[in-house]
Structure 1
Amino acid sequence: MNKLLIIGFVWPEPKSSAAGSRMLQLIEQFLNQNFEITFACAAKTSDNTYDLSQLGVKTQTILLNDASFDEFVVQFQPDVVLFDRFMVEEQYGWRVAEHCQNALRILDTEDFHGLRKARELALKEGVDVIVEHLQNDTTKREIASIYRCDLSLIISEVEIDILTQQFKIDESLLYYLPFLLEPIKEEAINCYPTFEERQHFITIGNFLHPPNYDAVLYLKQSIWPLIRQQLQKAELHIYGAYESQKVTQLHNEKEGFLIKGFAEDVDIVMQQAKVCLAPLRFGAGLKGKLVDAMQNGTPCVMSNIAAEGMFGEFEPNGFIEDNLETFAQKAVELYSKAEVWKAKQNSGFKILNQRFDKANFKDEFAQKIENLSANLKSHRQNNFIGHILQHQTLQCTKYLSKWIAEKNR
């Protein structure tokens, strides 16, 4: 049995974030490929941490900037190592490369962090994203990590295009692997609350994620007042893990703007709502809140950034609008017109079942891993930039880590 080591940025919390759900999808994929999996992480656990032992996955607490990881990885000798985001590869990638030279190194980007940063910079400046924004320090670090790995998993086709066209990264280093979801069955759909049985609006997202907080603030200050003018009894229920005081102080019952906090069961709260709002103004990757909405038959009104990479050639499960007045008007329309609402709901079911069905990806991905492992030497020979970035003269993160370890003695 092949051995997989996953080095996590955090312990998976599928109830708190899309990243947590994504990690469990990857774990399931590798379990189906008959991998023995150990999940290692230096972060602290929380009450929302998923119990990986339920899946037969072993766990290992590791330290940052500490040679104890070298001893651990030498003893484990993984066949494949999966880095959860580029920051983790920076910390541990050089150690894996030194001690497990024959291990296939995979980077799960989660989303293109450099693209998210570019959009955040452009938003603050009040301008469209230009090349200068894209070439930020986060992008430089992330792309260096992509080159140091044998394969990087990219969750959005849009991000594949940017990486190959704008940054000229060879397609052999990238692999499109979106959310891997169970199809929705007709029996489940028939049990969902109807248009008439639902009420109010919903938005959801981990408050530690800056784009989510910005979207809630944008709703509060600009969009919700316009919706509320036309639907005076409607409420907006805001759910998300790790709410801070700056979030809770937005709560206003008179305005129908209700901070609900952590959702123990996203399916229940999403099925109670009539419309999901996602006016994200920056971000990247695929949006878990839209998947949650589609899985529970809740149509959405969303920005172009929220919708990016989600729908392909399919009709969206709602309306895509960036203009705030039009956004509000479409929200009112979707909330008020049963026929429009039902059509958008059905579009969501079609997208999930045809675009993100895990059965469409599992065999091809398994074959990709098998082929790469069998031809690792020649694959790496074709990635000369990766060799350059592994050279000692450019290993700043390696020597910083060694210095910290010595200082901590």
Structure 2
Amino acid sequence: MNHSKSLLVIALVWPEPASTAAGVRMMQLLDVFKRDGYSITIASAASTSEHSADLESCGYKTKAIQMNDSSFDAFVAELNPDAVLFDRFLTEEQFGWRVAEQCPNALRILDTEDLHSLRHVRETCFKKGVEFTTDAWLQDDKTKREIASIYRSDLSLIISSYELELLTDVVKIDKSLLLLLPFMLPEIPEDKEWKTFDQRTDFLFIGGGKHAPNIDAIKYLKQIIWPLLHERLPEAKLHIYGAYLPQQVLEMHNPKERFLVKGRAADVNKVMAAVKVCLAPLRFGAGIKGKLVAAMANGTPSVTTTIGAEGMYGILEWNGYIENDHTAFVEAAVRLYTIPTAWNKAQEQGKTLINTLYSETSLAHLLLQKVTELQTGLQHHRTQNFIGGLLQHQTMSATKFMGKWIEEKNKG
């Protein structure tokens, strides 16, 4: 293929699609640009792990870069990409000003993954036992940093409709700077054959151990929800899957209670398609949940909380139940597990959700259309984004001068 367009992705970590939803998301984005004919280079200051995706075999170039080091300037100037995708606001903070200086005509795209500040403030409120408010969120330092990063970028990809509303209604960010882009999945054909209600058994929770909302949900299952559910359905098991599960979770494994900690799943879709119900009692967090999208995509109904389902279903019905009270949560799980009509209806709703809100074809088209439109009128777009220009002004460039200072210090 004759590549006429180039994309540089600056990754916070090398993507691990088998470990995290963020890794899945990154591979989906890379795929969209690759199919559109982009030549793609992925750079990261992180070290690789045995679970990092084999990016070279997918046709991508890779480059190890350093933080607070002007060697990046020479690298990016020579590459001179048409577009740069920052993976989470921390990479934009670190490298955005360097990209703006060396490649002023490159379109700068921020993939927020989820609003880190929202997740952070919610966790803080949850641990203090106080209610989350948008005022608390607006006052937080991390929020200010993340919002500044969104303003400095030409386009920010927002994964959840709730987060889009928060940015447009509360912060009043202009819609031209944002694009709602959830996970992108192949459409589910009408005649899709999944395992039936009678062919499935057990419950499942899946979530990476480096993510605080998942650890809290596992503890909540172990201490409160599962004892009640196990009493009602003594034959059923609960399988806990997740990469990087900490010792405290591994020690919860208890075959007698049918609470089984399995660790990393070799294939998320395979384990999801075999169980009857996915449980996700998340009490804080942000973004949209990869585990719940995977449940819908595999015909598995789910029970979750308001936080779990937030920004994920629009005006459509959920593929199961949304309950915040633990007794109602258990009732809903029992209902899905024992009543075939309720289960089948939930499965159909999951299919509708995937095909309506998560269609790879229509979302990829939307993204590429937006990118082309911005590249065509980039200077005008930037002129309209006055706050973004203000934040690029040298009097606001604390991160730039901090970076230069660290670089000098490192030389010493």
TM-score normalised by structure 2 residue count: 0.96
CA distance in structure 2 between the aligned counterparts of 1:223 and 1:394, rounded to whole angstroms: 49
* Partners of 2:42 and 2:63 within 8 A in 1: yes
* In 2: Cα distance, 1:194 partner to 1:9 partner: 40
| 1:159-238 → structure 2 map (5 Å cutoff) | 159-186=163-190, 189-190=192-193, 192-238=194-240
> Out of 237, 251, 254, which is 1:252 matched to?
254
Instruction: Flag structure 1 segments of 5+ consecutive residues without an equivalent.
Output: none
Deviation of 1:211 after TM superposition, in Å, equals: 0.7
* Aligned with 1:369 (options 351, 368, 371): 371
Q: What is the match of residue 144 of structure 1? A: 148
List aligned pairs for 1:9-20, cutoff 5 A. Answer: 9-20=12-23
Q: Is the 8 A contact 1:202 1:237 kept in 2?
A: yes
User: Which range moved further: 274-283 or 119-128?
Assistant: 119-128
Distance 1:266 1:330 in 2: 24
Find the counterpart in structure 2 of residue 117 from structure 1.
120
Amino acid at match of 1:103: A
Q: Is the 8 A contact 2:6 2:82 kept in 1?
A: yes
Q: 1:280 is matched with which residue: 279, 282, 286? A: 282
What is residue 311 of structure 2 aligned with on the other side?
Answer: 309
- The 3-state SS of whatever aligns with 2:257 is coil
CA positional deviation for 1:33 = 2.0
**Which SS does the other structure have where 1:260 is aligned?**
strand
Map Cα deviations across residues 41-79 of structure 1 (whole Å, 9 max, x no partner).
Answer: 111111111112232111111111111111110110011
Query: Is residue 97 from structure 1 mapped to residue 95 from structure 2 by the alignment?
Result: no
* CA-to-aligned-CA distance 1:260-287 (integer Å, 9 cap, x gap): 0000011221122111000111111110
Q: Which one of 365, 373, 397 corresponds to residue 395 of structure 1?
A: 397
Contact 1:299 1:341 in 2 (8 A): yes
Secondary structure in 2 matching 1:408: helix
Q: CA offset at residue 90 of structure 1? A: 0.6
Amino acid at match of 1:284: A
Q: Distance in 2 between matches of 1:368 and 1:179?
A: 17
Q: AA paired with 1:385?
A: I
Q: Distance in 1 between matches of 2:166 and 2:78?
A: 39
Check conservation: 1:184, 1:352, Cα contact below 8 A: yes
CA contact (8 A) 1:119 1:133 kept: no
State the Cα deviation string for residues 213-255 of structure 1 (Å, max 9, x = none). 1111111111111111111122110000011212211212222
**Which residue identity does 1:320 align to in structure 2?**
I
Aligned partner (choices 39, 45, 53) of residue 36 of structure 1: 39
CA–CA separation in structure 1 for the residues paired with 2:398 and 2:222: 43
Task: Please state whether the residue corresponding to 1:44 is helix, strand or coil.
Answer: coil
> Aligned partners of 1:361, 1:292: CA distance in 2, in Å?
17
Partners in 2 of 1:258 and 1:407 — Cα distance?
Answer: 50
The answer on whether the counterparts of 1:6 and 1:84 sit within 8 Å (CA) in structure 2 is yes
Q: CA deviation at 1:186?
A: 4.2
**Which amino acid letter does the alignment assign opposite residue 315 of structure 2?**
E
For the Cα contact (< 8 Å) 2:157–2:181, is it kept in 1? yes
Partner of 2:100, secondary structure, is helix
> Which stretch shows the higher mean deviation, 16-25 or 363-372?
363-372
Is the counterpart of residue 46 in structure 1 residue 67 in structure 2? no
Q: Distance in 1 between matches of 2:235 and 2:41?
A: 51
- Residue identity matched to 1:43: A
**Do the aligned residues in 2 keep the contact of 1:215 with 1:280 (CA within 8 Å)?**
yes
> What is the aligned counterpart of 2:244 among 242, 245, 270?
242
| Equivalent residues, number | 407
Q: Distance in 1 between matches of 2:134 and 2:365?
A: 37
Secondary structure of 2:168's partner? helix
Q: Which residue of 2 aligns with 1:155?
A: 159
Q: Tell me what 2:324 maps to.
A: 322
> Any unmatched runs of 5+ in structure 2?
none
Distance 2:401 2:284 in 1: 34
Tell me the equivalent position of 2:354: 352
- Higher mean alpha-carbon deviation, 93-102 vs 111-120, is at 111-120
Q: Is the 8 A contact 2:161 2:312 kept in 1?
A: no
Distance 1:158 1:233 in 2: 38
Q: Give the CA deviation at 1:127.
A: 2.6
Q: 1:25-44 CA deviation, whole Å, 9 max, x = no partner?
A: 11111112211110111111
CA distance in 2: counterparts of 1:247 and 1:42, whole angstroms = 30
Structure 1 contact 12–23 (Cα < 8 Å) conserved: yes
- Whether 1:67 aligns to 2:63 is no
Tell me if the contact between 1:286 and 1:310 (Cα under 8 Å) persists in the aligned partners: yes
Given the alignment, which residue of 107, 118, 135 partners 1:132?
135
Aligned counterparts of 1:138 and 1:105: Cα–Cα separation in 2:
21
> Residue 8 of structure 1 aligns to which amino acid in structure 2?
A
Distance of 1:134 and 1:95 partners within structure 2:
29
What amino acid is aligned across from residue 196 of structure 2 in structure 1?
A: T
- Is the deviation greater in 251-260 or in 4-13? 251-260
Shift of 1:343: 1.0
Please report the RMSD computed on the Cα atoms of aligned residues, expressed in angstroms: 1.2
Identify which range, 80-89 or 62-71, moves more after superposition.
62-71
Which residue identity is paired with 2:130?
V
What one-letter code is carried by the residue in structure 2 that aligns with 1:182? P
8 Å CA contact retained: 1:119, 1:282: yes
- Cα deviation, residue 348, structure 1: 0.7
